[in-house]
Structure formats: C-alpha cells, structure tokens
Amino acid sequence: MLKTPVAARRRVVDRIAQTGRRLAGLVADAAAEQERTLATLHEVLAHHGVTPQAFSVDTLDTKARRAIARARLVVSVGGDGTLLSTSHWVTDGALLGVNSAPRSSVGFLTSTRRTHLAKTLAAIASGALQPLLVSRLAVEIEGEHLPPALNDVLIAHENPASTSRYRLRLGRRAEDHRSSGLWIATPAGSTAGIRSAGGEVMPLTAHRLQFRARELYRAHNPNAALETGFVEPGQKLVVESAMTAGWLYLDGARTNARFPFGAQAHFRIADAPLRLFADAAKWDAAG
C-alpha cells in the first residue's frame, strides 16, 4: 500500500513550484525518499522470491480491498496516515509499516524504514520477528458497520468553531455533553489526539478503549461522570448525536461518516485484533 507524495498530487505541484521556499524542498525530498524506499522494498522482496501487488492508498477500490484482505503480509509505505487507512482492510494477515520519509514524517505506528528493510523482512521471513495482537475499535452507526479503527474516532460538529452536542451512555450512566468533540481511542491511538486532550497513554497490547471529551462545557454539566473513562471487554459506549451537522471521523479525515441529529453510534472492542509489527516499548516510553 503506497502513499501518494504531496509533490505528485494534482494542483499541488504548480503551487509548490511557485513558492520557492523551504517547503518546496521538504516536499521534493520526501517524494524522492519515497521512490528510494519503494525501489529498496521491491529489491528486498525479489530477493525473497516475492512479487508484490501495489495499490495507492488514495484509490482503494474493491479489488484493492479484497487483495489486502487475502494477503498474508501487507506492507504500507508512507507514514501513519497510510498505515491507518490500510489497516481498515487487513483481516487475517499481518501489517508492516515502512516510514518512507522519516525526516518529515512522524511514523509512530510504523516499525521500519528503508535502511532497515532488508533486516526487518529477513527477520519476518525467518519467524524471528512476530506481529503483536493490537485491539481495534468496532464502530456502528444506525446499524451500519464502519471499518475497524486502529487509532481513534472523533465525534464533532462539521464546523470546528461550533459546539459539539451529544448524549453519552455507558452501562447505566448517561449524560448530555456540550464540548469541542469526543475522542474514542484504542491503545494504539492513545498517544495521539486523545493524549493531547489530556488522556492517558495505554500499553499497546491493552484490551480496552478510552474516551474523553474535548473542552467540556462544565457550566452545563459541572459534575460530569462521563467526561473521560474506559470501555472494557463486553461493554458498549453509545453516543447519540444532538447536532444537525455532526460527523464521525475514523482514523483521521480520510474516512468519515455523517452523524446527524438523533443518530446513534455504538463503540466497542472489535472481535478481531490487528496483527501489527510494532515496538510496544514506544508506548511504554510515551506514557
């Protein structure tokens, strides 16, 4: 699964060329490093007798999704966004993230880069390197199942300056919120948006979800019991929209769904975890 570099996207190339600034150099460097990473990947896979199928993360059609679902090993080449979008369609296979531009990309979820590819794939081939079982987030809106989220889900008004209104229910507790939005995160995503909102970093292999309201309006609800908390195995977090223009964003902005007034969304730990090549110590250090 391949990222489309910014320098290769339509209508962006001309704007970059006109800037003549440092940004243009950074974008060009990232695109060149992406090409070098792809060349190295193909070379290493050929050494192992593997001919890969290549797809762009920006054009994931039915054929690509089925191929990813059937694959025993899926390799994402890009950053965290590429890996997250790819993870939605991985079923029984394992996912390896390659940070194709480590100088400009965080790549927290990725586990290797071009200079380490040969060593990493050799370890996978020999069985010396095994994937971890990482919990995913199952999302259902009005009976429709969305792809499982690896990182998080954000519920918010479509206008970031508007108040996000919703009703939250966990077990026997329920309350109405007015906030800037609601984060629901997996352990893998606990170092991302929810942490910036004051959430807790969880061990990567933990088997629970975490939720947290952003900038909760306390005058409306001074004794909120569900401002933050955890969803344990067997539990379900239910959120009802009180927004005419609410949205649900899954693992970033690329995958989203309308969440209009009165709609209900259910969140729980997905039945099938993701087999992800990752270093759990990064999450322990972040905590």
Catalytic residues: 80
SS3 191: helix
Of 120, 116, 76, the C-alpha closest to 98 is: 76
**Residues ≥6 apart with Cβ < 8 Å to 150:** 83, 84, 87, 88, 109, 134, 136, 137, 186, 188, 189, 251, 274, 276
Virtual torsion, Cα 254, 259, 264, 268, nearest 10 deg: 20
CA geometry: angle 8, 13, 14, nearest 5 deg: 160
Rounded CA separation 156/182 (Å): 7
Rounded CA separation 41/55 (Å): 14
Handedness of CA 155, 159, 164, 165 (dihedral sign): negative
